[in-house]
Structure 1
């Protein structure tokens, strides 16, 4: 299996990469500010499930195929960016409904729906695909056993670190949301801000051109 020193080096490298705010962090903050702590946690869980699916795909070789195909990589990027923009527009359009729901202390969003939305964002995140395909193989020891199993273990570690950091972001963002929540007008502005974050993130991903180099 993976040598302890190699594993420690990987954990440090993964932590440094994860703590730098990226697409998932911005999505998590936007959802927590728009929907509150529970909405943020469900979104984190959804993105984590999507990320695990990417890890499995990379371990089985699908991720490499996507990364080496300009067409497939572009399709994934456009789908993910477009979905984020759609969610952002919906958050802005329904910001008054969100404010009324919070004031009335009722939950209007299905937990399964929040999970599904987070899953779509996680599984179509081109930055995650690029990271898993470009970074994970560098820490694989060809003499240490099953390469797919090593990739799976490394990928799950990355996801675990990401979930831990995202949970902290949810707590911070939801705390700010509670403060804004004392006024319906603040909630409306907050919902619009969260939506704007997701729209901006989607637009960024549309023009983001990074792609793992092929051998």
Structure 2
């Protein structure tokens, strides 16, 4: 069991270290505030856990087997990525990418951050299919598959909360430098462009 968990956590580290749309969004939101960045992480990891549970129930096999279902989710995911990218570019043009909010606006912004991380993950069909192929490899021999995969999905999500939490902390430490208006606008433009490019690539992939 120990060797299996060690291998699983090592694989989780490699997955988290691979840059992707979630990483871009987490860094962008962390520039607004640590709270926004961490809530984006929580939203993203909720999506990771959801896909893990869905994989444990065998439902993602239907997605992997149905080209139509996969393509529909792929196009939705592409639209979501492009939308996030356009939002970042618009924020850069307005110059409000790093403003802090107070009161009800802060609560609304926090919910938006969490929802954004969740939506970005759930709209990614690759995340669903990957969970289906990834988790069963680490189920111990003789263990009941459903509870074991749900437990692994929870461990995966918790591990990534800790990993991406370091991103949030590190960006927060650099905010004094990154919070300059010109620097912030450039980062918003770059992150927005990357998200749009990733969305277009997802839309064009078969």
Q: Is the shorter-chain TM-score for this pair beyond 0.5, marking a shared fold?
A: yes
1:201 and 1:41 map into 2 onto residues whose CA distance is 23
Q: Quick check: 1:191 aligned with 2:188?
A: yes
Q: Give the direction of change, closer, same or farther, for the CA distance of 1:106–1:7 in structure 2 (3 Å limit).
A: closer
Once the two structures are TM-superposed, the CA of residue 53 in structure 1 deviates from its matched residue by 1.2
| 2:36 and 2:109 in contact (8 A); partners too | no
1:53 and 1:37 map into 2 onto residues whose CA distance is 24
Partner of 1:212 in structure 2?
none
Secondary structure in 2 matching 1:143:
coil
Partner of 2:168 in structure 1?
170
Partner of 1:74 in structure 2?
71
Q: Extract unaligned runs of 5+ from structure 2.
A: none
Partner of 1:206 in structure 2?
203
State the Cα deviation string for residues 127-174 of structure 1 (Å, max 9, x = none): 321321111112224522x21111111122222222222112222334
1:162 and 1:78 map into 2 onto residues whose CA distance is 26
| 1:30 and 1:193 in contact (8 A); partners too | no
1:186 and 1:10 map into 2 onto residues whose CA distance is 38
How many residues align? The count is 201
| 1:84 and 1:198 in contact (8 A); partners too | yes
Once the two structures are TM-superposed, the CA of residue 208 in structure 1 deviates from its matched residue by 4.5
Partner of 2:22 in structure 1?
24
What is the TM-score normalised by the length of structure 2?
0.84
Secondary structure in 2 matching 1:16:
helix
What is the TM-score normalised by the length of structure 1?
0.81
Q: Give the direction of change, closer, same or farther, for the CA distance of 1:202–1:65 in structure 2 (3 Å limit).
A: same
1:51 and 1:181 map into 2 onto residues whose CA distance is 30
Q: Give the direction of change, closer, same or farther, for the CA distance of 1:53–1:170 in structure 2 (3 Å limit).
A: same
Secondary structure in 1 matching 2:33:
helix
Aligned residue among 91, 94, 97 for 2:88 = 91
1:190 and 1:17 map into 2 onto residues whose CA distance is 24
State the Cα deviation string for residues 12-63 of structure 1 (Å, max 9, x = none): 2222222222332222223323x23222111111111122111111111111
Partner of 1:157 in structure 2?
155
| Superposed counterparts of 1:117-128, under 5 Å | 117-128=116-127
Q: Extract unaligned runs of 5+ from structure 1.
A: 210-215
Secondary structure in 2 matching 1:106:
coil
| 1:87 and 1:195 in contact (8 A); partners too | yes
